[in-house]
Structure 1
Amino acid sequence: MDLKFALIAGFLVVVFTFYYLEKEISKSEIFWLYSGLAILMGFISLYNVIYSRQSFEYYILMGVFFIFMASLYFEEGETNAAGRAT
């Protein structure tokens, strides 16, 4: 994937989040959605690095992007998945 296409995909995710997801679901659900996607992209990136697949390096970029999006929706005092306050 070319960097230009990765930036366009990131821009579309941001626009989709700001104009649709924020109206439909809560901020904590958006946080957990992007956290889960970042973990998934991390595992896919690890798999591709282990097997030396050169054409799939954009998973690392998307993983970093999803971590950034999750950090935008992190709220202080929120409970984590185990129910403990963060």
Structure 2
Amino acid sequence: MEERWRDLKIGDKVRIKSWPLEMVRENLHADSQEFLDWLIATQSVLTITEIDEWGLPFGYIERWVNGGEQSEWWGLNHSELEIVSD
């Protein structure tokens, strides 16, 4: 399995190309499923804003949901990531 996420740094931008092979949809909360579906369908870009003490990078994005702006973070320790250049 590809572990491109291990090389991510603060400020990097990534896109999730498709559902990660190692992720079981039914194991995720419905809101998480919807968010991941949205990220993939819109090909939106997450910006790495944090790397936790275990080395897990978190991507951040703001989006409009039900007429209001919503901040979202997603842990990125899975496959199907594409690094986006500026």
- What TM-score bracket applies, with the shorter chain setting the length? under 0.3
With normalisation by structure 1, the TM-score equals 0.28
Larger radius of gyration: 1
Structure number having the greater helix percentage: 1
The structure with higher relative contact order (CA 8 Å, sep 6+) is 2
